[in-house]
Amino acid sequence: MKLATADMASTSTKDLEAIPSRTVGEVFAVDAQDSRLLRKIDWRIVPLMFLCYFLQFLDKVLINYANVMGLPKDLGLRGNDFSWMATAFFIAYAVAEFPQGYLLQRFPLAKVLGFNVLCWGITICCSAAAQNFAGMVALRTLLGCFEAVISPALVMSTSQWYTKRESGPRYGIWYCGLGAGQIVGGLVSFAAQHGDKNASFDGWRIMMVSIGAFNVGVACLVLTLFPDSVDGARFLNAEEKASIHRKLALDQGGNGAKVFRLASLREVFLDPQIWLLLLLTILIVIPSGVITTFSATLIRGFGYDARQSALLNMPSGVVSIASTLVCTCAILRGFPRWLSIVLLLVPTVVGAGLMSFVDAANQPGKLAGVYLINTIVAPLALIYTWVGANTAGYTKRVASNAVVAIGFSVANIIGPQTFQSRDAPDYIPAKVTIFAVAGGAMIVSVVLRLFYGFRNRRSVKERRAQLAELAAQGVTRQLREDENADQTDRTNKAFVYVY
């Protein structure tokens, strides 16, 4: 990669004053060689990340489709048993976050991820054999423990390969696995419902075995093809690895040394941005959790049968994919993250209104409400980009991802519990909840933008001095010092926050 050192100091100083969120890495000229390297990384890394995220969401949404395929009758569920079955998964998910974070810190990233994918595939297969509520709850609890690795592992992997600017669309692509899971889940459910009604093996059990077996196959691909780190990537030569290290160090986007640092862990709990990101995650994921677990149930409540509900839920995945790609690609072109979140929440509020207050006989209007609410899925991808871009140091980044993932779990615990059997079939309290949390998420997004802007204004002088030092002393020495330091975003006074 060619570095424009001659005009680095002057250009960057002016740009930093005009656009505080701009990163150091954006002053580099990206040549054809770098583009080829990016494509090479993309084809090896991104499809596997997409498959992992697709499968973990599909595994979660299977219970949604099974609910309209006869699972409650087969397992003898009563009252709020289904809500508690969904909740058990996320309680385990939250509890397992820090143990999974420790494994990511202690062992090779790809091996930890692949082993967990293998375990959750086996667990899904075993779910087909469940005969009662207790057995299914136990298996859903195990599944939550294994799937807790997914977000920290994928965010860590993305941030160790791409700069802050490059990472946005990559987060978006693998996060589209969520929408793909909604679409494929609907197709699988629809197909499974065409089996023999008198067969001893029910349709939802066939669905579980099929998806679980596919998980096991993907786990084998991850264990054999997914690199643990840049240095461990066998598909790159030494010059290409060095180029990636230079780019990430200059962008202040690397993970730092893979060593546990207690001070970095302590900083996570003292940093206001982490608490704001946690709160934003909870507010955004509560409606997302409702839709993930109960969308097929809601659609069936509009007067459709089980097969129709499965098919009519598929457009929700299209909405999720479209909104995710639009917002993450907009980031690549410089559109603010915080404003993207606010804009994506507007159709969510409109959708909640349609679901809650449109006449029950107006099926198209209520369906439109379900589809519009799915735009709230995309902001979580933007939160992942914030965590990856605005935290530095390996320990802090792993712990920050774990905290956000716990927020994801807490929100998904709250979401299903807003659906109480006494509120059926309209579930008005659950729908009204979407209004409240969407409005709160808008406010927190604005607060985060102001907070990051304040921090960046305080560090303009430090960034100007750092750029001048890079131009005067050369890049290599500075890179080596940064790699050894493993600084967090708070200890590095020149760190640039993006918003």
Residue 191 CB coordination number (10 Å): 15
Lowest mean pLDDT among 8-22, 323-337, 374-388: 8-22
Give the pLDDT band of residue 11 (cuts 50, 70, 90): very low
Q: Taking residues 68-89, report their average pLDDT.
A: 80
Q: Taking residues 247-265, report their average pLDDT.
A: 70
Give the pLDDT band of residue 104 (cuts 50, 70, 90): confident
Say how far apart CA 163 and CA 394 lie, in whole Å: 15
Whether residue 484 has pLDDT greater than 50: no
Q: What is the pLDDT of residue 255?
A: 56
Give the pLDDT band of residue 258 (cuts 50, 70, 90): low
Q: Taking residues 440-462, report their average pLDDT.
A: 84
Whether residue 30 has pLDDT greater than 50: no
Q: Taking residues 36-58, report their average pLDDT.
A: 90
Q: What is the pLDDT of residue 308?
A: 79
Q: What is the pLDDT of residue 26?
A: 40
Alpha-carbon torsion angle 444, 447, 453, 454, nearest 10:
-140
Contacts 24+ apart (CB under 8 A), 337-340: 337/382, 337/385, 337/386, 337/498, 337/499, 338/445, 338/446, 338/448, 338/449, 338/499, 339/445, 339/449, 340/379, 340/382
Residue reference for tokens 């519990």: 417
pLDDT tens by residue, 204-255: 888 888 889 999 999 999 999 999 888 888 888 888 888 888 888 777 655 5
Say how far apart CA 38 and CA 371 lie, in whole Å: 34
Least Cα distance to 89 among 292, 249, 268, 357 occurs for 292
Whether residue 475 has pLDDT greater than 90: no
Tokens standing for 114? 């692949």
Give the pLDDT band of residue 419 (cuts 50, 70, 90): low
Say how far apart CA 313 and CA 57 lie, in whole Å: 15
Tokens standing for 86? 């969904």
Give the pLDDT band of residue 50 (cuts 50, 70, 90): very high
| Cβ-Cβ contacts under 8 Å for 253 (sequence gap 6 or more) | 23, 25, 159, 162, 163, 164, 167, 388, 389, 392
Alpha-carbon torsion angle 413, 416, 422, 427, nearest 10:
140
Q: Taking residues 432-444, report their average pLDDT.
A: 84
- When the pLDDT of each residue in the chain is averaged and rounded to a whole number, the result is 78
pLDDT tens by residue, 114-170: 999 999 999 999 988 888 888 989 999 999 999 999 988 998 888 888 888 888 888
Q: What domains appear along the chain, each with residue ranges and CATH number?
A: 44-229+253-483 (1.20.1250.20)
Whether residue 275 has pLDDT greater than 90: yes
Q: What is the pLDDT of residue 169?
A: 85
Give the pLDDT band of residue 421 (cuts 50, 70, 90): low
Whether residue 256 has pLDDT greater than 80: no
DSSP state of 123: H
- Residue 222 or residue 287, greater confidence: 222
| Cα–Cα distance list, 70 to 154, 201, 205 (Å) | 34, 12, 10
Tokens standing for 96? 């397992």
Q: What is the pLDDT of residue 229?
A: 86
Residue 238 CB coordination number (10 Å): 8
